[in-house]
């Protein structure tokens, strides 16, 4: 109820009314989302802004419920709030419910809040853009990792009709728990058998943090992977991870992690600002520049 909404909070200090969206996170300074949305705002000549909403967990409900009064059309949700948001919004789409995480909230006309998960769309669109004609139904998929990102990837692949999903994770209990939560047909593979699990696969996805700047590379022998298989890394810092470099050298089609970030934002932009939001060389250049110089 509007009367119950707090009038002020720190994350909203200094935010001007208008067509607005933002990203709720803690910390959130590293987010590339403002660069993405401002690029599209400029391209579409739409007045408005996309701002960082630095929100500690104890302020999450307060900041969220202040969005309608502050003129926000919606907000993205990032670490560590994606799971908590499931319980706070007024309704959830099917993907958000199955994944157990919300990455985007839309303010409806009546001020109520709808939670969505556009990571599923972003993941699949990225693969289709990297390899036109790619279909999940063609061959088994191998997913490495069982964290938050893996849940979205797994739901996306199952919904897209993958015939077999092999899941390997360092901590097998996490993979078992994911399979139990989402779909018992997922084949959990021991982490040490991940190399052999690549045989006859059509897709390999790394959702672990291995390969990210500052972490060791993912140790993985690609010998068993058919040469036509698409290789995707969720990691985008660096853009070309050691896994993608190795896969490219073997002749595999590859999809980088930046494409998923861009594509999950496209339906959000269309929904909140009403313009066209496309992946483009210009957008990628802006994001790469921002990653290289975060203070810009
Ligand atoms: P995200 O939300 O991005 O998926 P996360 O939930 O922290 O991040 O998940 C990180 C994933 O990387 C997990 O699958 C984790 O494996 P565990 O479940 O065993 O923790 C995986 N990971 C992180 N460091 C790893 C390492 N050194 N070796 C293998 N897997 C690792």
Q: Which of 12-16, 147-151, 239-243, 245-249 is predicted with the least confidence, judged by mean pLDDT?
A: 12-16
Q: Is 82 tagged catalytic?
A: yes
- Mean pLDDT within 226-244: 97
pLDDT at 5: 41
> What local confidence, expressed as pLDDT, does residue 269 receive?
98
**Per-residue pLDDT for 255 more than 60?**
yes
DSSP one-letter string for 239-266: SS-HHHHHHHHTT--EE-HHHHHHHHHH
33 lines ligand 1 (CB under 6 A): no
- Mind listing the pLDDT tens digit for each residue in 112-146? 999 999 999 999 999 999 999 999 999 999 999 99
Share of the chain above pLDDT 90, in %: 92
Helix (H) or strand (E) holding 273: helix 257-273
Question: Does residue 205 have its Cβ closer than 6 Å to ligand 1?
Answer: no
Q: Is 170 in the pocket of ligand 1 (CB under 6 A)?
A: yes
Tell me 7's DSSP state.
S
Ligand 1 lined by 148 (C-beta under 6 Å):
yes
Q: Is the CB of 171 under 6 A from ligand 1?
A: yes
Per the prediction, the chain carries an average pLDDT of 94
Give the whole-angstrom CA distance, residue 22 versus residue 54.
10
For ligand 1, atom 26, which residue shows the shortest CA distance? 210
**3 pLDDT exceeds 80?**
no
For residue 26 the two structure tokens come to 């803690």
Under the banding of pLDDT at 50, 70 and 90, the label for residue 295 is confident
Tokens of 173: 């209990």
CA nearest 120: which of 143, 94, 139? 94
pLDDT score, position 296 = 75
Q: What is the pLDDT of residue 50?
A: 98
Ligand 1 atom 21, closest CA: 208
Tell me which of 82, 245, 289, 290 is the catalytic residue.
Answer: 82
Which residues are within 8 A (CB) of 250 and not within 5 positions of it... i.e. 6 or more apart? 222, 225, 227
Centre of ligand 1 from the C-alpha of residue 30, in Å: 20
Which ranges of 58-193 would DSSP assign to H, the alpha helix? 60-66, 85-88, 94-99, 119-130, 148-159, 172-182
Residue whose CA is at the smallest distance from ligand 1 atom 27: 210
pLDDT in tens, 180-213: 999 999 999 999 999 999 999 999 999 999 999 9
- Residue 102 banded pLDDT, cuts 50, 70, 90: very high
The helix or strand, by DSSP H or E, that contains position 75, with its residue range, turns out to be strand 72-77
Over residues 261-287, the mean pLDDT reads 97
pTM, two decimals, is: 0.93
Look at residue 64 in the predicted model and tell me its pLDDT: 97
C-beta pairs of 42-50 under 8 Å, 24+ apart in sequence: 43/275, 43/276, 44/273, 44/275, 44/276, 46/19, 46/273, 46/274, 46/275, 47/18, 47/19, 48/18, 48/19, 48/20, 48/21, 48/273, 49/16, 49/18, 49/19, 49/20, 50/20, 50/21, 50/22, 50/23
C-alpha span between 248 and 46 (Å, rounded): 39
CA-proximal residue: ligand 1, atom 22 (nearest): 208
Check residue 99 and give its pLDDT: 97
- Distance of CA 88 from the midpoint of ligand 1 (Å): 26
* Structure tokens given for 213: 């700047």
**Cβ-contact 260, 122 below 8 angstroms:** yes
């Amino acid at each position: 109820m509007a009367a119950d909404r707090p009038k002020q909070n720190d994350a909203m200090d200094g935010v001007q009314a208008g067509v607005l969206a933002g990203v709720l996170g803690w910390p959130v300074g590293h987010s590339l989302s403002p660069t993405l949305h401002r690029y599209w705002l400029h391209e579409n000549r739409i007045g408005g802004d996309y701002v960082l909403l630095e929100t500690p967990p104890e302020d999450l409900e307060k900041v969220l419920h202040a969005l309608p009064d502050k003129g926000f059309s919606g907000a993205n949700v990032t670490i560590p709030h994606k799971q908590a948001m499931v319980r706070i919004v007024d309704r959830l789409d099917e993907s958000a419910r199955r994944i157990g995480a919300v990455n985007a909230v839309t303010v409806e006309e009546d001020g109520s809040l709808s939670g969505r998960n556009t990571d599923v769309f972003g993941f699949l669109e990225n693969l289709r853009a990297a390899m036109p004609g790619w279909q999940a139904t063609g061959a088994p998929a191998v997913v490495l990792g069982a964290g938050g990102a893996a849940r979205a990837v797994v739901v996306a692949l199952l919904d897209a009709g993958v015939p077999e999903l092999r899941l390997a994770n360092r901590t097998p209990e996490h993979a078992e728990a994911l399979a139990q939560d989402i779909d018992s047909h997922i084949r959990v593979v021991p982490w040490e058998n991940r190399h052999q699990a690549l045989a006859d696969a059509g897709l390999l996805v790394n959702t672990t943090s291995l390969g990210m700047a500052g972490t060791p590379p993912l140790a993985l022998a690609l010998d068993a992977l058919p040469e036509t298989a698409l290789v995707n890394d969720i990691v985008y810092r660096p853009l070309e991870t050691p896994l993608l470099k190795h896969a490219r050298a073997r002749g595999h089609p590859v999809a980088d992690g930046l494409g998923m970030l861009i594509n999950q934002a496209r339906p959000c932009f269309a929904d909140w600002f009403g313009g066209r939001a496309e992946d483009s060389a210009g957008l990628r250049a802006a994001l790469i520049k921002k990653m290289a110089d975060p203070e810009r």
